[in-house]
Amino acid sequence: MPLFFGGWLNWLTGPQSTIDVAGPVAESQRHVFYVTVWVTGIIFVLVASVLTYATLKYKARNDSDEQTPTPPQGHGNPFIELGLIAASVLALVFIAIPTLRAIWYAYDVPAAEKTNALEVNATGYQWWFKFEYPSEQIDGVGPLTTANELVIPVGRAIRINLRANDVMHSFWVPKLAGKVDMIPNRGNHLWLKADAPGYFWGQCAEYCGESHAVMRFRLIALAQKDYAEWIIAQKAPARALTPPSDGALAKTQPAGYAFKNPGRNAPGYSSAFDTDPLAAWLKQQKPAANENPVLIAQGHDLFTAKSCVTCHVVRGNNMGGAPFAPDLTHIGSRTTIAAGLLENNSVNLHRWITRPNEVKPGNKMYLGINGMPGYMMMQDDKLVPHIVVSDEEAPAIVAYLQSLK
């Protein structure tokens, strides 16, 4: 029984709940939902009672009942019909009024908040999200760019411009706002606001191909001061550690973790993280205590040698990059990798860079994109390996990426 009563309430308080909301836009949408629940609920009780009563009262009890003379052959009553039509229209008016108000409210930032609003660009790719801050320009580079984790200040209206360059996607952080689609060759937008600091789960809500199910992201709402600090840190180029002497580089370094392949679709989350995700996020901003500079330097070189650099930007450290791949300048400061799929830790990073196709089948890093090869390449109509990151090489790249705070 608890499953069917108390249980159902627990079924509505998950990290992507549309009921347990945390911002005014989602609240306005929930309000409309509640109105519909009330109105249809009342109609249901009335109609269901009449239906139940009619079924029980006029039910034939036994065979002889069925043989009795036929009941009156009435064809209906126009006044009852018209009355019920009028009542239905009236009930719908109760829903229509809050609906219209919320449509206009949710469409764009209210005039009073426009001057203080923060504008962000979000672009959907198969299968990750790019976020740009046009108001935070970096000299000679362009707007501050990050991937899969959108950081916003609390209490400010955020207007998010939604774009897509490949197929349709949809931007959805249920606790903050209903979804709006990202459609190629069409400019969309939504706005949202977080009431208090928090760590929110989001997900692509428009089917976008093979790995649609694992196209996720996070939204982190920070107090004004924390947000300002984050912006400064993000605008800085990638963190560079003092390079060790050439002698040290040649030596094999301990990985610092043991890797065992957990297999495809294996969970990438942990309850330790979930108990206080915002605290985990804050902790992720600072360099780890046990960094190994030699391993990191090896990773830095491998990152170029394995041609990761062809697509991925690591501003300041590795020259290269392309706009259709996630910017990794500060990947070490993000709490997730592979588009919000796995917690950002050594084992998960190792899993992702050695076996990308098991983590996210069909991904472009693995298959290549725009005619460029990825881990695989086309040769004589066959896919053959192009880049291999072995389990021995991976720890260095993992250490390097994690150092990029």
Q: Which of residues 156-175 bind another protein (CB under 8 A)?
A: 162, 165-168, 170, 172, 174
Distance CA 109, CA 156 (A): 10
Piece of the chain touching another protein by CB under 8 A; list 51-59, 246-254, 294-302, 305-313: 51-59
Distance CA 165, CA 373 (A): 19
Instruction: Name the one residue in this structure whose structure tokens are 């500079």.
Output: 293
DSSP-based three-state secondary structure for 301:
helix
Give me 396's structure tokens: 């260095």
Distance CA 310, CA 315 (A): 13
Instruction: Establish if 181 lies at the interface with another protein (CB under 8 A).
Output: yes
The sheet that has 149-153: what strands, in order across it?
A: 149-153, 216-222, 198-203
Within residues 264-293, the interface with another protein by CB under 8 A covers 264-269, 271, 274
Within residues 27-46, the interface with another protein by CB under 8 A covers 28-30, 32-33, 35-37, 39-40, 43-44
Piece of the chain touching another protein by CB under 8 A; list 129-137, 236-244, 261-269, 328-336: 261-269
Instruction: Establish if 344 lies at the interface with another protein (CB under 8 A).
Output: no
Q: Which of 178, 356, 374, 395 binds another protein (CB under 8 A)?
A: 178
Instruction: Establish if 188 lies at the interface with another protein (CB under 8 A).
Output: yes
The nearest distance, CB 80 to another protein, in angstroms, is 7
Instruction: Establish if 139 lies at the interface with another protein (CB under 8 A).
Output: no
Angle at 273 between CA 267 and CA 275, to 5 degrees: 120
Piece of the chain touching another protein by CB under 8 A; list 3-11, 232-240, 282-290, 319-327: 3-11
Instruction: Name the one residue in this structure whose structure tokens are 């009852």.
Output: 80
Within residues 346-405, the interface with another protein by CB under 8 A covers 361-362, 367, 378, 381, 383
Instruction: Establish if 47 lies at the interface with another protein (CB under 8 A).
Output: yes
Distance CA 133, CA 156 (A): 15
- What is the phi-psi region of residue 358: left when phi exceeds 0, alpha when psi lies from -120 to 50, beta otherwise? alpha
Our measurement of the distance from residue 75's CA atom to the centroid of its chain's CA atoms, rounded to an integer in Å, reads 56
Instruction: Establish if 13 lies at the interface with another protein (CB under 8 A).
Output: yes
Within residues 208-247, the interface with another protein by CB under 8 A covers 208-214
Residue 296 amino acid letter: I
Piece of the chain touching another protein by CB under 8 A; list 103-111, 151-159, 232-240, 312-320: 103-111
The nearest distance, CB 16 to another protein, in angstroms, is 3
Residue 149 has, within 13 A of its CA and on its CB side, a CA count of 29
